Amino acid sequence: MSLGEKFLQWDERNYVDYFRKPIYRSIWFGFGTAFFALAFGHQLWMLSKHWTAIPSAMQITFLCATLCTPLVWVRAIRQHRLLRQMVLRGLGLAAEAERQLFKEIASSSVFFVWMGYVVINLVMEVMLHLVWRN
């Protein structure tokens, strides 16, 4: 069962708790921020440690990948705030359709942001491996 399917199986209480009570949002925001800090710190460490050893074209690629990580994080925060505002105001959709839409957006954004960090770090690791192998 995928993460999105598990999220869609939440009961009404969990859904309301997540979107209306700040402690639940704070916990998830804390996990997300910690994961972002680890990913970004790892990228900066790789960049500083191997800067002189990698070719100039790869240096540009490393800089772009490192800059993408905070941009993805800022975009995720903005999307989540917009989603919460829409929940609190309501879109005028039927209650079930509205709830389904919000759950799909929220579950997909978390998964793609976290996978984005993993993919960016793996690409950087593979590039370093290829440089050191030659």
Q: What is the DSSP letter of 54?
A: S
Question: Cα dist. 105→51, 91, 101, 118 in Å?
Answer: 38, 14, 6, 20
CA distance 20 to 51: 45
90 versus 52: which is more confidently predicted? 52
The total of structural domains in the chain comes to 1
CA distance 14 to 111: 19
Query: Which pLDDT belongs to residue 17?
Result: 59
Burial of 62 (0-12, 13-18, 19+ CB in 10 A): buried
What residues make up the domain containing 40? Answer: 3-133
User: Cα 122–125–131 angle (5° rounding)?
Assistant: 145
Query: Which pLDDT belongs to residue 133?
Result: 73
Question: Mind listing the pLDDT tens digit for each residue in 23-73?
Answer: 666 776 777 778 888 888 888 888 888 888 888 888 888 888 888 888 877
- Taken in order 82, 18, 116, 128, the sign of the CA dihedral is positive
User: Cα 41–56–124 angle (5° rounding)?
Assistant: 35
Query: Which pLDDT belongs to residue 16?
Result: 57
